[in-house]
Amino acid sequence: MKKYILIFTITVISQFSLAQNDIIPEIKTQKGFAKINFLSINMPETSIVNEANMGFTGIHYNLMLNDWAYAGVGIYGAVSGERGGFFTLGINAGIKKHITDRFYTDAGFHFGGGGGASAPDGGGAFILPHFNLGYDFNTFSINSGWSYVDFFDGGEIKGHQLNIGIEIPLDYDHANYNSSESEYDFDELKKSDWNIPTKRNSLMFHANNLKIKGNTQQSSGVKYNGETIRLAGFEFASYLTENWFAFVKVDGAYDGIKAGYMDVFLGGGYHYAFNKNRTNIIAKFGVGAGGGGGIDTKGGFLIYPDISIEQKLFNDLFIAINTGYVMSTNSDVFTSSYGIGLKYYVERSGIISNKNIFSKGIFKGLNVIVKQDVYINADRDAISAENMHQISLQVNLDINKNLYVAGQTSFANFGNAGAYAEGIVGLGAKTNPILNDKATLFVQTLAGAAGGGGISTGEGLIVKPSAGLNYQINNNLGIRSAVGFVKAKGGNLSSPFVNFGINYHLAFLKMNK
């Protein structure tokens, strides 16, 4: 009898353990909002007499921490005035409180780094507090009010101004990061809260080229003679319908001209699929900011019409070739654009699709890291080496439990190099969790474009290997630290570095056919 009781107990425990392993991760909804804002900054008297105000436009994404507090990241770029190529990156925090059903107040703070276009930005560090009054239309809201900018690390740009912004609610569904790489059959997911329509995104890493045409000039006034700017970057798209999508695109130069050119575009496009969804034709139009590297983009406002064709390689991976233009509206800047990229499509956060029939779903890990880098004795072009600090945003997408792809952008904020920026991509590897499943060790190598701020990067190509530690604090947050080395090809930059930051991690459901 005791024998049978023992067998029964073991069987029950085994079944319970198996059931626990088969429990589908809980769906969680994170509330957030995207914001586009504009402010006109009064510029100090420098080498440009009676300089026009710099039009400063920002793109932000913020998470609601509770019913009234938010935090996030944002990037700004000059779009009017005399400082085309002036870019910054920073972190946001604020409080939003409704005073009626429609009206609300928004008191917030932005801290970041950046600069460019020979502006008096000092080391690049700046603050940008604001106090706004907003009106909520449910599907979007508008707000406006007072703001103050101060490039306080030796810069001369400071002053009060009005700002205006538009916000769009942008929530997303996710699971805890510990669910990463868990796989479930479609029939299992159908019985869960994930039985909702999918959302479609794409991520593309590309190499692009800008063939300079027309009367495009250097900032010194010398006309270019058909040079080709080599760029590397990424593009992220979110589908609004089956065919229409919105996108953000970021590129940085690594060859062809002096280091430092960068552009950022926000826009929309149309997706036409044929050949049994193996071939796509994509038409896009974007507006944004660009400059640096000696190119005279005037105020910095650029437009980007483009058409591309994509061919499926396998599963959700496509190869894309594109052609188009990057230019100013008055053709002071005029370049033809062409390039090649790898694009990855994701049907996520649901299981119902009009286009695809799925067999299973897998939870993929995503890490968003905000950190502060310190380059030790960073070499300069014209002055002696000194430490250079920068604020960085890195996004990691897990390939499996031990490998990930990464993209990173960084902007100087201390150390007399305010115009310095990086845009780099690469691969990383990490261990299985250790120390009570709280810590992981990692190594990664990133490479791409960098320049500006007098840092000696030649034409802009850098390589940046590092190793470090992630420590998980709770289901969503961790801390991260690393040491590494940065080396410029064609420049003298060759420095060890350290960094420390915060890691926001989650898992999203990706459906497979």
- pLDDT computed for residue 22 by the predictor: 61
Q: Could you tell me if 372 and 404 lie in one domain?
A: yes
- pLDDT computed for residue 504 by the predictor: 97
Q: Could you tell me if 204 and 83 lie in one domain?
A: no
The answer to whether the beta carbons of residues 172 and 349 sit under 8 Å apart is yes
Work out the average pLDDT over 84-95. 96
Range of the domain at 384: 361-512
- Identify the CATH number of the domain in which residue 230 sits: 2.40.160.20
Amino acid at 348: R
Q: Which of 152, 169, 186 is the last residue of a domain?
A: 169
Domain count of the chain? 3
Q: Could you tell me if 271 and 327 lie in one domain?
A: yes
Residue 5 has pLDDT above 50, yes or no: no
CB-count burial class (<10 Å; 0-12, 13-18, 19+) for 353: middle
Cα separations (Å) of 189 from 19, 217, 350, 510? 14, 57, 9, 12
Q: Which of 19-23, 241-245, 392-396 has the lowest mean pLDDT?
A: 19-23
Residue 188: inside a domain: no
The closest of 245, 252, 316 to 278, measured between CA atoms, is 316
The three-class DSSP label of residue 214 is coil
Q: Write the pLDDT tens digit of every residue in 283-305.
A: 999 999 999 888 889 899 999 99
Work out the average pLDDT over 191-202. 94
Q: Could you tell me if 103 and 231 lie in one domain?
A: no
Q: Which helix (H) or strand (E) holds 217?
A: none
CB-count burial class (<10 Å; 0-12, 13-18, 19+) for 7: exposed
Q: Could you tell me if 72 and 125 lie in one domain?
A: yes
Average pLDDT over all residues of the chain: 92
Q: Which of 348, 371, 397 is the last residue of a domain?
A: 348
Residue 293: inside a domain: yes
Q: Could you tell me if 379 and 492 lie in one domain?
A: yes
- pLDDT computed for residue 104 by the predictor: 98
The answer to whether the beta carbons of residues 394 and 371 sit under 8 Å apart is yes
- List phi, psi (to 5°) of 18: -65, -40
Residue 262 has pLDDT above 70, yes or no: yes
- pLDDT computed for residue 450 by the predictor: 93
- Residues 188 and 509: their CA atoms lie apart, in Å, by 13
Work out the average pLDDT over 450-464. 93
Residue 240: inside a domain: yes
Q: Could you tell me if 292 and 374 lie in one domain?
A: no
Q: Could you tell me if 215 and 286 lie in one domain?
A: yes
Q: Could you tell me if 219 and 242 lie in one domain?
A: yes
Residue 189: inside a domain: no
Residue 29: inside a domain: no
Q: Could you tell me if 437 and 341 lie in one domain?
A: no
Residue 12: inside a domain: no
Is the overall model pTM greater than 0.75, yes or no?
Answer: yes
Q: Which of 319, 348, 377 is the last residue of a domain?
A: 348
Q: Could you tell me if 211 and 153 lie in one domain?
A: no
Q: Could you tell me if 329 and 386 lie in one domain?
A: no
Q: Write the pLDDT tens digit of every residue in 322-377.
A: 999 999 998 889 999 999 999 999 999 999 988 788 999 999 999 999 999 999 99
